[in-house]
Amino acid sequence: MNSEKVIVFDLDGTLLNTLDDLTDCVNYMLEKYGFSPRSRSDIRRFLGNGARNLIERSLDGGLAGDDFERFLEEYKAYYEQNSGVKTAPYDNLVDLIGRLRKRGFKIAVVSNKPDGAVQSLCELYFPSLVDFAVGDRADICRKPSADPVLLAMKTLRCGEAVCVGDSEVDIHTAKNAGVPCVCVTWGFRDKDELIECGADYFADSADGLEAILLDILTKTGERTE
C-alpha cells in the first residue's frame, strides 16, 4: 500500500463561496427563457448534485426534452464564462492548502460541477496548489459514487485519503470510498442536516480543519459524537 496521503476537497461551499455567481447565472438563464428568478436560499438548497440537478430543480418542470437539454448546455457555457465574478475562497483556505502541501500531503479537488468550470476555478484561485482536479465528466460517475475519489487516489498514487466537504453528498461519497469525511460548517448545508446524514467530524474554521486533518492523517483523530 502506498504511504502517500491525499486530502480530497469538495469545491462549492467548501473551498469556494460560489453561491452568488451560481445564483446570478441561473437567474440570467431563467429570465432569458421567461421564468421567474430563484432566491439565493433556493439555489443553496439545490446545490450538491451537479448542474443537471440544479437546473431541474430551478425550472421545476418548466422545460423538458430537447428544450431542457438546450437550456442546460447554454447554462453550463454561460456559467463557465462567468464563474469568477463574485466567487472567492473562504477565509484562510489558500494558506491552509499551502501548509498542507508543505507537510507532504497531496491535494485533490472532486466536484459535481462541470469539469471545465472546476479546472478553470482551481487554476484561478489555487494556482500550483492542486495536484488533481475532476468535475462532472461523461466518463466517470459523479459523487456520491466513490469513483472520482478512487480516481484521485489512483492518479496520485496515494494509499490513504480523507474527504472534506459541506454536504450530504460528500458524506455519502466518503462512506462509499471507505475514507473519513470532515464537514465544514461554513458551506451550503446547516450543521443539523450534516449530523442527520451521519457526519463524523466538523470544522468551523480553517485552523480547526487543519487540526482535524492532521489528527486523522497521523492516526490520532477521534470521532465527533
- Which pLDDT band, with edges at 50, 70 and 90, does 225 fall under? very low
* Mean pLDDT of the region 72-80: 95
- Residue 48 confidence (pLDDT): 85
CATH fold match for the domains 5-17+87-217 and 19-81: no
Residue 71, C-beta contacts closer than 8 angstroms, at least 6 positions apart = 29, 33, 55, 59, 63
Q: How does pLDDT run across 172-210, given as a tens digit for each residue?
A: 999 999 999 999 999 999 999 999 998 889 999 999 999
- What phi-psi label fits residue 112: left (phi over 0), alpha (psi between -120 and 50 degrees) or beta? alpha
Q: What is the mean pLDDT of residues 80-105?
A: 96
Q: Is 184 helix (H, G, I), strand (E, B) or coil?
A: strand
Model pLDDT, residue 218: 87
Residue 98 corresponds to which amino acid?
G
Residue 79 reports pLDDT greater than 50: yes
For residues 106 and 156, the answer to whether their CB atoms sit within 8 Å is yes
Q: Is 139 left (phi over 0), alpha (psi -120 to 50) or beta?
A: alpha
Helix (H) or strand (E) holding 9: strand 5-9
- The single-letter DSSP state of residue 92 is T
Which cell goes with 38? 430563484
Predicted local confidence at residue 127, as pLDDT: 95
CATH of 19-81, one of 2.40.30.10, 2.160.20.60, 1.10.150.240, 3.40.50.300: 1.10.150.240
- pTM here is 0.91
Task: Quick: pLDDT tens for 2-46.
Answer: 679 999 999 999 999 999 999 999 999 999 999 999 999 999 999
Confidence of residue 219 (pLDDT cuts 50, 70, 90): confident
pLDDT tens for 108-163 read 999 999 999 999 999 999 999 999 999 999 999 999 999 999 999 999 999 999 99
The verdict on whether omega for the bond into residue 127 sits within 30 degrees of 0, i.e. cis, is no
CA atoms within 13 A on the CB side of 206: 14
Domain boundaries, the chain: 5-17+87-217, 19-81
C-alpha cell at 198: 451521519
Average per-residue pLDDT for the chain: 94
CB 177 within 8 A of CB 161: yes
| Better pLDDT: 94 or 48 | 94
Residues comprising the chain, all counted: 225
Rounded-to-integer distance, Cα 102 and Cα 43, Å: 36
221 contacts 212 by C-beta, under 8 angstroms? yes
CATH architecture of the domain formed by 5-17+87-217: 3-Layer(aba) Sandwich (3.40)
**Mutual angle of helices 65-81 and 19-32, in 10-degree steps:** 140
CA distance 164 to 213: 9
b/e sequence 160-174, b meaning 16+ C-beta within 10 Å: bbbbbbbbbbbbbbb
Q: How far apart are CA 199 and CA 134, in angstroms?
A: 23
How much is the pLDDT for 2? Answer: 60
